[in-house]
Structure 1
Amino acid sequence: MEKIQNQKHTKETLYYSISRMLERASYYGFRALVVLYMVGETLNMERTEALTIYGWLVGSLVFSQIIGGLFGDLLIGNKKTIIIGGIIQAIGAFSLCIPSTTGLYLGLFLVVLGSGFFTPNIISNFGKTYLNKTKLLDSGFTIFYLAINLGSFLGILLIGYLGETYGYNIGFVISGILMLISIIPIILSKEKGMDEIEKNEFPIGKRILNILIAFIVVGLFWGFYELSSIRTFDLQLQLSEISTLGIPNHLWQSINSIFILPISIIAIILWTYFYSSQFFKLMLGFVFGVISFGILILIPEVPTEQHTVTYLISLLFLAISEIHIAPIIHSILTKYSNPKYLAILISLAFLPTRLISLIFGLFNDKLYDNPMLGLKIGIAGMVVVGIGLIGYVWWNKKTTYNTV
């Protein structure tokens, strides 16, 4: 580890993080209500139809983000695209208050389009604020990731509760209002000009290799994460019924987020003052992932109340794993890309994750019958990727030493 000197976070970090937190609160709050709204008295849809529409909503975000990245980098600029995206997403939330399928489809389309404009461009602009102090990139994006998790947690809690208690329209209106408020910090923020950014000095071959490795490795992580989630959710349901720890039922679904919050804060403090390579962090992420899955596999298929603590320890290690991987992908893309096309690259980073998840999803039927199999595949896969990252970190150190 190397001590970081003369590099500090700025008020732009706060502005972008608050904006992203409010946008995620709006988006996840809306998502918590939309299926319930579709199957409710107003639209009275079949549950299967509602879940199919929901699946299309989530899946189409990948493509809308590519459109948003192209608009931001090539046509109207990143900051304008963020603001326009926020307004479109807010209108989408308000449109859901129209009690008809027309209002539903219009609202969903606008939310998807607005989120696609907003997401890659705010990530891109946030990353650019750190390009003259790249040793703080990991810490900065961990602050950003903390804001995302905090926003999604509060959005589900607040909008979900108000929507179910006082009516779905109230929830959708609050979602839209939060979205409009999220634009204010962006308007107040200063956009980093290309002339203010130090030129990327890394050889083109190394930049391409690092970006490709990050794409594949992070996609595989979320694929293995999804494979294990069948067993994780199964245990969650069983333990929530027999546990005597007094954890409310609705909090069982958010335990991972609850762990992520304090771990993020620890990582932010540590990585603000001490620097280690991004690929070393990715390697540690897979090591902690193997430990988490290894602990899970010790729990028998039918757990007892005593296994609750074991399950929580596994989730703790999984949260540590996630913090070493999820923010770091954007940190690597920011560091090694051409900043002119950073939003486009960030939008493309969602494709490998989605593709790998779809491939792994083909085996879900077999995994539902044998949840332990997904866990074993996840452990084996993470071990292989972890060993590969150890080799890459060692090779990087060796080549750096030889060129000094």
Structure 2
Amino acid sequence: MNQTLDEIQNFKGKYPKQIWSLFFSEMWERFCFYGMRGMLVFFMISQLDFQEKAATSQYAATQAFVYAFTFVGGLFADKILGFRKSLFWGGLLMIIGSLILATNPHDFFFLGISFTVIGTGFFKPNISSMVGQLYKPNDSRADAGFSLFYAGINLGALLGGYLCIAIGKGEMLSKIIPEDKRWNVAFGLAAIVMLISLINFVFTQKSLGTIGLQPGHPQNEEKSAPIPKWKEFGVYILSLIFIPIIMIMVSVPQYTNYFMATVGPIVLIYFFFEMSKVSPGERKKLWAALVFILFSILFWGIYEQSGGTLSIFAAKNLNKDLLGLDPNGVNNSGGAFFIIFLAPLIGLLWIWLSKRKLEPNTIIKFGLGFIFLGLGYYVLFATRLFADLQGITSLNFFTLALLVITLGELCLSPIGLSIMTKLSTKSLQGMMMGMWFLASAYGQYVAGILGNHLATAEEGTSNFDAFMIYTNGYKQLGLYAVIAGVVLILISPWVRKLMQEVR
């Protein structure tokens, strides 16, 4: 090891040098993830002849399992693999999945998707954990580090979200790539950037000291018995065994319904059991955490229409009056673009308000997040003002809606993980983080349910009538979001009492 953990954490300046390498690994992985995500619904409808309802259901099932498996991947990393091996294994599975899709996306679609679901579950939670270990506890520079890392996530989302779908649709490089190979190239691009991410991480390991080592490794900071090889290889084999299971469950959405109906109640029962063993003060904080978790499900259920119904809306109902850009590319990457520029400004705004003792507390911020989300969907409804008789409306105005929705995300998403750690007891932090990720899975699941209610246009319906149906649905979602935001603000005094000294 080139450096000890203490030497890494005692870095000079604002950022540790290792964060830049992790930044680029995460950026390319997010390129792969958001590139794949942005293609799913459009590909299923245009290439696999799925009906809109079926496509949104399949999309929601895929995303739900991705987030559910981040919980599983994090547990295996903690107990058996360590962050490094977990991340490498996840990245390898994502590459295999993308290569399968690049080879034959029409015949092996669900097989490739299943590899990427399991792979993302192993990769996603563990690179963030390594970033956290670059800092000592209570190091004030950690927030700046995570802000930089968050920028890497969104830079990857911006690039992948636009380029992959634009290549697949033939909006880019159409003169170079034959028409029958466009989707192969688009999925292949996701594989290439994931390979770059993994190669970058291999070289990064040399500078990470003891960070992310497997439990029981001789140089691990926390001494424990070595992990038997059969347990490590057992994880690899078990994850491969799960691939055909995930393939079946994702391809048949009813199985996803059974899974989601079972897991949630079991986790809640276990949560209440653990609550019974803590002090009354700690129990109040856990009740507050549960409020955040439950409301986050609704938030993500409404927000995540971007990969479902908004993907259909972008393909069928938007023109190219924004610099000639592809509407699906803008839908996939617009939010990331706005986050890159707005996140630092929002951070400065909170600091400015804090100095004047005007900064809203966390629960109020959550409420504001919902209200901005709702207003964004009302802007989507207002695209009616620019629609022609063919049901085609302004991409410029649609992009304005994405801007307002992104403001909502910035009021809620960055503080979610932080508030979970603050409200959890030390013995339950892993479980609470798992519940937060599981809430994201349920949010994706709810997004599919809501998307099905929006995709009610029957076959043969005119594009204009379908446009009216979707925009009516977006108005309803906007109303639900605004009501939820108002409820959160109204109950904020009660939740603040539960949170006690936590802000």
The interval holding the TM-score normalised by the smaller chain is 0.7 to 0.9
Tell me the residue number matched to 1:374: 473
The counterpart of 1:336, out of the listed 423, 441, 451, is: 423
The counterpart of 1:388, out of the listed 479, 487, 493, is: 487
Tell me the residue number matched to 1:4: none
Tell me the residue number matched to 1:77: 82
The counterpart of 1:265, out of the listed 329, 340, 344, is: 344
Distance 2:111 2:313 in 1: 38
Tell me the residue number matched to 1:317: 404
Tell me the residue number matched to 1:112: 117
Q: Taking structure 1 as reference, are residues 66 and 324 closer, same or farther at Cα in structure 2, changes over 3 Å only?
A: same
Distance 2:86 2:375 in 1: 41
Tell me the residue number matched to 1:183: 201
Distance 2:105 2:450 in 1: 36
Q: How many residues align?
A: 388
Q: Taking structure 1 as reference, are residues 401 and 297 closer, same or farther at Cα in structure 2, changes over 3 Å only?
A: same
The counterpart of 2:442, out of the listed 355, 370, 373, is: 355
Distance 1:31 1:306 in 2: 24
Larger CA Rg, structure 1 vs 2: 2
Letter in 2 for 1:18: F
2:303 is the counterpart of 1:225 = yes
2:285 is the counterpart of 1:279 = no
Distance 1:265 1:382 in 2: 25
The counterpart of 2:372, out of the listed 288, 312, 316, is: 288
2:159 is the counterpart of 1:154 = yes
Unaligned runs of 5+ in 2: 1-12, 171-175, 213-219, 223-278, 457-468
Letter in 1 for 2:294: I
Tell me the residue number matched to 2:33: 27
TM-score (norm 2): 0.61
Q: CA deviation at 1:21?
A: 1.1
Q: CA deviation at 1:99?
A: 5.5
Tell me, yes or no, if the aligned pair for 1:90 and 1:179 is still in contact at 8 Å: no
Letter in 2 for 1:379: G
The counterpart of 1:240, out of the listed 318, 321, 327, is: 318
Q: CA deviation at 1:57?
A: 4.2
Q: Taking structure 1 as reference, are residues 329 and 128 closer, same or farther at Cα in structure 2, changes over 3 Å only?
A: farther
Distance 1:231 1:63 in 2: 22
Tell me the residue number matched to 1:47: 49
Q: Taking structure 1 as reference, are residues 386 and 13 closer, same or farther at Cα in structure 2, changes over 3 Å only?
A: farther
Three-state SS of the structure 2 residue aligned to 1:300 is: helix
Distance 1:38 1:236 in 2: 15
Task: Work out which structure has the larger RCO, using CA pairs closer than 8 Å and 6 or more positions apart in sequence.
Answer: 1
Q: CA deviation at 1:183?
A: 2.2
Q: CA deviation at 1:203?
A: 4.7
Q: CA deviation at 1:318?
A: 1.2
Q: CA deviation at 1:325?
A: 1.6
Please identify, of 360-369 and 48-57, the stretch whose mean Cα deviation from structure 2 is larger. 48-57
Distance 1:294 1:33 in 2: 26
Q: Taking structure 1 as reference, are residues 214 and 194 closer, same or farther at Cα in structure 2, changes over 3 Å only?
A: farther
The counterpart of 2:283, out of the listed 205, 211, 218, is: 205
Tell me, yes or no, if the aligned pair for 1:130 and 1:137 is still in contact at 8 Å: yes
2:150 is the counterpart of 1:66 = no
Tell me, yes or no, if the aligned pair for 1:194 and 1:340 is still in contact at 8 Å: no
Distance 1:292 1:34 in 2: 24
Q: CA deviation at 1:372?
A: 4.3
Unaligned runs of 5+ in 1: 1-6, 196-200
Percent same amino acid among aligned pairs?
25
Deviations 1:318-377 (A, max 9, x none): 111111222222222233345676565434323334335534644545434533443343
TM-score (norm 1): 0.74
Distance 1:401 1:343 in 2: 21
Tell me, yes or no, if the aligned pair for 1:23 and 1:182 is still in contact at 8 Å: no
Tell me the residue number matched to 2:246: none
Q: Taking structure 1 as reference, are residues 334 and 32 closer, same or farther at Cα in structure 2, changes over 3 Å only?
A: same
